[in-house]
Structures are given as C-alpha cells and as structure tokens.
Amino acid sequence: MHELKTPIGKGRLVSEMIDDVKQKERLHRIFVRLNLLIDEFAKLEQITSKNFHLQIRPYSSAQLLQAGIDLLMIDNADEVITHNIEEEEIISADIELFPLALKNLIDNALKYSPDHHANILVERGVITISNKGEKLLRPIETYFAPFHTSKNGLGLGLYIVKSILDIHQMQLHYDYHDGKNHFLIELP
C-alpha cells in the first residue's frame, strides 16, 4: 500500500502547481479517489484475513446513509440519489465499514442505471437500494465472488458488500420487478 500511496502523494503535490483551477480540482479529486480505493483494498485485506476489529456502535440509519453517500464524493448527490426514511432505524454497525457497503451498492445503482439515478428506502428492518435497469444475468451469489467478470469494474463491489454485511451478521437479498433492481439489506 505504501508503494501506491507515495506516487499519489507526489501527484497531489505536483497538481497543486497547476494554474488552471478546474484542472487542479479534477486532479485533486482523482488523487483523493485513488487514495480511497487503496484504503478500501486495505480494509478488504483486513476483513478477509480476519484482522479487522469492528468498532460496533449504535448509529441512526440517516447517519450511516449519509456517511455512505459522502464516500461517493459526488457533487450532485441530491440530484442523482433519492432517499426516503420511512422508519428511522438504530443500527449497530462499524462506522468505517458499513457506510462502505452502502457506498458500493449506491455506486453500482448509479453506474448500472440508464438514468444514473439511485433510490434508497429505509423501512423497518430493511434498507433497499434500487435502480432502473436490466435484470442481473446470473444469480446474485455469482457476484459475491471476488474478481468475477464485470463489464464496468473489477468485480469487487458486491464481494466487499457481502463481506462487510457478513461480519455485521446482516443479509443481502436481490429482487427484480417493475424494471428495477432492488438490493435489500436485512438488518438483524
């Protein structure tokens, strides 16, 4: 990880010397995103090696949802993400990991939807993230494998989500109806 973070740090320093403000901001976002990806890989390594100590605390579903949306680092989140909290839930979760699972599900919803829009619904015992789009071609369990073949990514998103939910003793379900994909997190 250090070997990757060093060039990113150097790139951020060099990007500060650029006069064009728009280009400087674009490069800054790229380097921040790369840094976050490396951190995700580090967390993933800790999770899979069982070397991660959860810091489970009670959080409101609104807090966890906002933390997940913040991880997306998108400027127009209110325009592309609709969320409705019908019943506020207090969820015992790790504030670093659980929002990462939410972020990956929301990111997938945005990426794979023709209108690039995600819907989030919090109801009693369930968080549902949905989007318009094509039905998954294979059973959901196929996508839980690391590095599965994916048309727009590394094939790690749902693997990370599933790993995080497993250690939180939560279930992930998939449903498709009315032209929408629905990913449901079943809370304990």
Question: Which CATH fold topology does 56-186 show?
Answer: Heat Shock Protein 90 (3.30.565)
Is the distance from CB of 170 to CB of 185 less than 8 angstroms? yes
115-154: pLDDT as tens digits = 999 999 999 999 999 999 999 988 888 887 766 566 655 5
**CA atoms of 36 and 21, how far apart (whole Å):** 22
Where are the domains positioned within the chain?
1-52, 56-186
64-107: pLDDT as tens digits = 999 999 988 888 999 999 999 998 999 999 998 899 999 999 99
For 152-163, letters b (16+ CB in 10 Å) and e give: eeeebbbbbbbb
Is the distance from CB of 170 to CB of 151 less than 8 angstroms? no
Q: Is the pTM higher than 0.85?
A: no
Q: Is the pLDDT of residue 33 over 60?
A: yes
Rg of the chain over Cα atoms, rounded to whole angstroms, equals 17
Inter-residue long-range contacts of 28-33, CB under 8 Å, 24+ positions, other chains counted: 29/73, 32/73, 33/73
Mean pLDDT of 15-35: 84
